[in-house]
Amino acid sequence: MVYSNKENVNILTSLLVAHGVSHAVLCPGSRNAPIVHNLVTCPDIDCFSVTDERSAGFYALGMAQATLSPVAVCVTSGTALLNLLPAVAEAYYQHVPLVVISADRPPQWIDQLDGQTLPQQDALGRFVRKAVSLPEPHNEEEHWFCNRLVNEALLAARQRGDGPVHINVPLTEPLYEFTVDSLPDERMITYAAPCVDKRLITECAGMFWKASRPMVIVGQSSKEKLIADDFEEISGFAVVLNEALSIGCGACHFDELLCQEQLPDDLVPDFLLYIGDTLVSRRMKQFLRKLPKDVPVWAISEDGAVHDTFKSLCGVIEGHPADAIASLGDLAPMKRRRGTSPFFDRWDEFLAETDEKIEDFTPGYSQMAAVKCLEEMLDGDDDFVTHYANSMSVRLANIYACHYVFCNRGVNGIEGSLSTAAGFSLVTDQTVYCVLGDLSFFYDSNALWNEDLRGNLRILLLNNGGGGIFEKFEGLQGSAARERFVMAKHHTSAEGICQSYQVAYRAVHNMEELEEGIYWLRQDQDERPMLLEVFTDSANDAKILKAYYDRFRG
């Protein structure tokens, strides 16, 4: 095996392997070719080619979610790097360890009207945990510096709950000399993360155990596999509420419950513990923002950031949720079950009633019926994961999914959901279902431009001819911009795209075809991805969704 003669590239490659990077997404270009060459040559790294950098960033995000490990994405200089920003921002808020590697010109050539050149060093701004620019070493001191910078960046990707980092690699010509027989044996710096110190959470534990109406809200967690079991115990003594984006049992249907005009006072907690990232339910955020001022809110987060989502945060515990919950348990005055009280009984009763009403509701042909049908057919399957896109798809997942759901909810973008699912599918043997709306699909259809994709990627495209979510804003009816510019209504179908990218395609226009279609999507084995396009009318989708929520009002 013969590596590049660029010393900084060899240091980088060696340390990527040492820090456990085993997957890389590579984007074409000349300046990054020495890095690409090394990553492809290195036997410890599996490489995937993606041309569109915006899509590549999301591919890497999906791979990192699937492998729970850092994944590299390597781009050439110039705007190639800037195109990664949406995925990097999403990774930042989802705490996913993306390792961005950009090739660059030597510093003296920046801003000198040379091609594909712009200031790259801090181009990803505050969306990366750490940005370093490597020297091209000429002596031992510079070699040490380069080693240290790479170590620092790769450590930062795993510290405090993971996040994206940027390693910029200036390279002087000539670029293509592959003459080095083996990678250098580089010194790797390791890092030991602190555990939650019990003494530090005594105050929180005291309040938690004294509370008679303790509530735990679990926001999005992109590391569901790491924390699923930990909630078993805590749900024995608190009302634990989560959406499908956090723990592996589907959502508690509190969004529906909170539709009621008059909520009984007994539902209000007297202590709130918040774990994880965002919540989809606006109603829950509004409910919690109106908590009486004397209800203490504590948050557990791996980065210790202050997210005062409910405007009443009084404490933050920095650490892994599992550690923190275990420590809370250790500090219990005595192990106790929650017993009966109007608070627990009401929540149990209301959630059970809500579940019953959901079961009794049979949506007519619509987006909602499509998701219901898919989820019902998936019930009982075990080797699958789902990626739901933003907008209505994820909301429907929160109604019908009985399992963990991936979603780019960090910044709620619609631009990379299909690429994320596609990247995920490349590094797993599980079947990956991606459910997404039409604007999300056409925006990111480059995700399908990939020869490595296999038959384990199944797409349920909910095509209601535009941004159907905007139907719900009655005030928008008065705007002349509504249909063409806000909803971006269109009549595009995915059929031609599927043909171009060798994706098996089937269309659905009514209930009967829907059931057959979902059966097809789930059952048939194909070497290439499969896509089921469900055509619905967005006004009718909105009407059915309203009828659904009307059941819970009153």
Q: What is the Cα–Cα distance from 10 to 464, expressed in whole angstroms?
A: 50
Contact partners, residue 96, CB within 8 Å, separation at least 6:
61, 64, 65, 90, 162, 163, 164, 222
437/517 with CB nearer Mg ion? 437
**Is 342 exposed, middle or buried, given 0-12, 13-18 or 19+ CB atoms closer than 10 A?**
middle
**Is 106 exposed, middle or buried, given 0-12, 13-18 or 19+ CB atoms closer than 10 A?**
exposed
Instruction: Based on the shown chain and the rule CB under 6 A, indicate whether residue 414 belongs to the binding site for ligand TPP.
Output: yes
Choose, by CB under 6 A, the member of 65, 77, 222, 391 that binds ligand TPP: 391
Contact footprint for Mg ion (CB under 5 A): 437-438, 464, 468
84/439 with CB nearer ligand TPP? 439
The dihedral region occupied by 97, where left means phi > 0, alpha psi between -120 and 50, and beta the remainder, is: beta
Q: Quote the least distance from Cβ 418 to ligand TPP, whole Å.
A: 10
Work out what residue 65 binds among ligand TPP, Mg ion, none; the CB cut-off runs from 5 to 8 Å by kind: none
Q: Quote the least distance from Cβ 538 to ligand TPP, whole Å.
A: 6
Contacts 24+ apart (CB under 8 A), 176-179: 176/33, 176/34, 176/37, 177/4, 177/5, 178/2, 178/3, 178/4, 178/5, 178/37, 179/2, 179/5
Instruction: Based on the shown chain and the rule CB under 6 A, indicate whether residue 62 belongs to the binding site for ligand TPP.
Output: no
Kindly indicate which of the ranges 31-39, 445-453, 462-470, 504-512 contains the residues binding ligand TPP, using the contact rule CB under 6 A.
462-470
Kindly indicate which of the ranges 314-322, 386-394, 472-480, 498-506 contains the residues binding ligand TPP, using the contact rule CB under 6 A.
386-394
302/438 with CB nearer Mg ion? 438
Choose, by CB under 6 A, the member of 162, 224, 302, 438 that binds ligand TPP: 438
Q: What is the Cα–Cα distance from 490 to 487, expressed in whole angstroms?
A: 9
450/464 with CB nearer ligand TPP? 464
Instruction: Based on the shown chain and the rule CB under 6 A, indicate whether residue 363 belongs to the binding site for ligand TPP.
Output: no
Cβ count within 10 A of residue 249: 15
Work out what residue 469 binds among Mg ion, ligand TPP, none; the CB cut-off runs from 5 to 8 Å by kind: ligand TPP
Q: Quote the least distance from Cβ 80 to ligand TPP, whole Å.
A: 19
Choose, by CB under 6 A, the member of 437, 445, 456, 521 that binds ligand TPP: 437
Instruction: Output helix, strand, coil percentages for the chain, rounded to the nearest 5.
Output: 40, 15, 40
Kindly indicate which of the ranges 220-228, 346-354, 419-427, 460-468 contains the residues binding ligand TPP, using the contact rule CB under 6 A.
460-468
Residue 103, φ and ψ in degrees, nearest 5: -85, 150
Work out what residue 100 binds among ligand TPP, Mg ion, none; the CB cut-off runs from 5 to 8 Å by kind: none
Instruction: Based on the shown chain and the rule CB under 6 A, indicate whether residue 319 belongs to the binding site for ligand TPP.
Output: no
Instruction: Based on the shown chain and the rule CB under 6 A, indicate whether residue 469 belongs to the binding site for ligand TPP.
Output: yes
Residue (of 458, 467, 461) closest to 525 by Cα position: 458
Instruction: Based on the shown chain and the rule CB under 6 A, indicate whether residue 392 belongs to the binding site for ligand TPP.
Output: yes
Q: What is the Cα–Cα distance from 403 to 243, expressed in whole angstroms?
A: 10
Find the residue with minimal CB distance to ligand TPP: 437
**Angle between helix 7-18 and helix 33-41 axes, rounded to 10 deg:** 40
Instruction: Based on the shown chain and the rule CB under 6 A, indicate whether residue 235 belongs to the binding site for ligand TPP.
Output: no
Work out what residue 413 binds among Mg ion, ligand TPP, none; the CB cut-off runs from 5 to 8 Å by kind: ligand TPP
The dihedral region occupied by 339, where left means phi > 0, alpha psi between -120 and 50, and beta the remainder, is: left
Work out what residue 390 binds among ligand TPP, Mg ion, none; the CB cut-off runs from 5 to 8 Å by kind: ligand TPP
Q: Quote the least distance from Cβ 459 to Mg ion, whole Å.
A: 14
* SS3 assignment, position 413: coil
Cβ count within 10 A of residue 360: 8
Q: Quote the least distance from Cβ 467 to Mg ion, whole Å.
A: 6
* Residues listed for the chain: 554
Instruction: Based on the shown chain and the rule CB under 6 A, indicate whether residue 52 belongs to the binding site for ligand TPP.
Output: no
Instruction: Based on the shown chain and the rule CB under 6 A, indicate whether residue 34 belongs to the binding site for ligand TPP.
Output: no
Instruction: Based on the shown chain and the rule CB under 6 A, indicate whether residue 413 belongs to the binding site for ligand TPP.
Output: yes
Instruction: Based on the shown chain and the rule CB under 6 A, indicate whether residue 366 belongs to the binding site for ligand TPP.
Output: no
Work out what residue 392 binds among ligand TPP, Mg ion, none; the CB cut-off runs from 5 to 8 Å by kind: ligand TPP
214/467 with CB nearer ligand TPP? 467
Give the residue carrying structure tokens 């993606």: 50
285/543 with CB nearer Mg ion? 543
Contact partners, residue 182, CB within 8 Å, separation at least 6:
1, 3
Question: Does an H or E element contain 94, and which?
Answer: helix 85-94
Choose, by CB under 6 A, the member of 38, 366, 464, 536 that binds ligand TPP: 464
Q: What is the Cα–Cα distance from 63 to 151, expressed in whole angstroms?
A: 22
Work out what residue 276 binds among ligand TPP, Mg ion, none; the CB cut-off runs from 5 to 8 Å by kind: none
Contact partners, residue 144, CB within 8 Å, separation at least 6:
none
User: For residue 80, what are its two tokens?
Assistant: 């190639």
Q: Quote the least distance from Cβ 357 to ligand TPP, whole Å.
A: 23
Instruction: Based on the shown chain and the rule CB under 6 A, indicate whether residue 540 belongs to the binding site for ligand TPP.
Output: no
Binding site for ligand TPP (CB under 6 A): 390-393, 412-415, 437-440, 464, 467-469
